[in-house]
């Protein structure tokens, strides 16, 4: 009876959170619950090998969505079973989900917010043996020390693979330059500073923060323009 109720619960989660035909988008906790309810769940990590080895979901297969080998690796999975796919923030896995559907997969579950959301929910992470653990980089304490004594600083949380981050970068740099030294820009790669990203519960990038004398006064998620940036000075 418990197994029947559990199956109904999982089905309800997948149905209620589904946003596209053949694809469901679930938050971190629901994603973990759905995987746990399926024996031998197929989990696909579509990030780079370095990202994967720095920290991934236990049991995941790595297939970099930007690599020519993606189709070959993903093609070895069973098309008649659900594939649980994720990346760092959800952007690459959404693209991968589309590719999987074209390959004939009928049931795909995408992790909304990716590993950033997974880490924010304090869910378990497995690491590769040959790489430095994901805890490297800035910590909350070292970040605080980094901005200490600075009158005004804007923090740009980004990643090298993030398209919107690349679009925002020149806008941000031009805006900072126009402030004539009043604002300092600090760029932080979330891949290289995952412990800090986890402590700040960053689930989407680009993500900006403004600090005045060490106190956060403003934050913004996503691609923005000069007008929105001007509001950070108020």
Catalytic residue check, 87: no
Catalytic residue among 74, 91, 165, 172: 165
- Write the burial class of residue 215 (CB in 10 Å: 0-12 exposed, 13-18 middle, 19+ buried): exposed
- Closest by CA to 37, choosing from 73, 12, 62, 65, is 12
- Rounded distance between C-alpha atoms, residue 84 and residue 37, angstroms: 12
Catalytic residue among 91, 162, 197, 205: 162
Is residue 73 within a helix (H) or strand (E), and if so which, with residue range?
Answer: helix 70-74
Q: How many CA atoms lie within 13 A of 87 on its CB side?
A: 22
* Beta carbons of 9 and 1 less than 8 angstroms apart: no
| Active-site residue list | 162, 165
């Amino acid at each position: 009876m418990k197994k029947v109720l559990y199956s109904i619960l999982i089905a309800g989660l997948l149905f209620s959170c589904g946003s596209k035909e053949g694809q469901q988008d679930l938050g971190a906790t629901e994603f973990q619950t759905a995987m746990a309810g399926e024996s031998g769940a197929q989990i696909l990590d579509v990030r780079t090998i370095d990202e994967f080895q720095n920290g991934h979901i236990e049991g995941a297969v790595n297939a970099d969505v930007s690599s020519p080998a993606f189709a070959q690796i993903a093609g070895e999975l069973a098309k008649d079973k659900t594939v649980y796919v994720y990346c760092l923030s959800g952007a690459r896995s959404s693209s991968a989900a589309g590719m999987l559907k074209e390959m004939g997969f009928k049931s795909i579950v995408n992790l909304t917010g990716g590993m950033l959301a997974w880490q924010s929910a304090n869910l378990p992470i497995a690491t590769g043996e040959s790489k430095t653990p994901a805890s490297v980089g800035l910590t909350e304490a070292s970040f605080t020390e980094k901005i200490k004594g600075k009158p005004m600083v804007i923090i740009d949380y980004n990643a090298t693979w993030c398209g919107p981050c690349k679009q925002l970068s020149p806008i941000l740099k031009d805006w900072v330059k126009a402030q004539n030294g009043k604002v300092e820009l600090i760029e932080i790669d979330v891949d290289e500073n995952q412990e800090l990203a986890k402590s700040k519960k960053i689930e989407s990038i680009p993500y900006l923060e403004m600090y005045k004398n060490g106190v956060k006064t403003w934050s913004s998620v996503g691609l923005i323009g000069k007008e929105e940036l001007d509001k950070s000075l108020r």
